[in-house]
Amino acid sequence: MLDPVEKSDFYPVRAMTPVTLSIKIGNGQVGGTNVTFDGTPLGSGPITNLPIGTAGQDLKDKSVDAQRRCAGSGLHLQRRDAEPDR
């Protein structure tokens, strides 16, 4: 069994701005994803534009956990949410 790969990134977001999460796995690999926020499950399976938090919730200094199991390699996380904090 291969050792797990861990990747952590921190992205600045504006206060009170909606954030979504998408996880893309390359090369048509199969597997499953589990996403939690503040210990609460948010989604599993394919993750595309999954809303993080609730309407009007301040997400600054918060974190999301995503665990992905897939056959092969090629995990790529890409930020597609709010503009950076200015």
pLDDT at 86: 45
Predicted confidence (pLDDT) per residue in 72-82, tens digit: 555 455 555 54
Predicted confidence (pLDDT) per residue in 8-48, tens digit: 777 788 888 888 888 877 666 677 789 998 889 999 988 88
Phi and psi for 11 in degrees, rounded to 5? -120, 130
CA distances from 77 to 7, 16, 55, 73, 86 (A): 9, 23, 23, 13, 23
Contact assessment for residue 77 and residue 25, using Cβ atoms and an 8 Å cutoff: no
Supply angle C-alpha 35, 36, 37, rounded to 5: 135
What element of type H or E holds 47?
strand 47-52
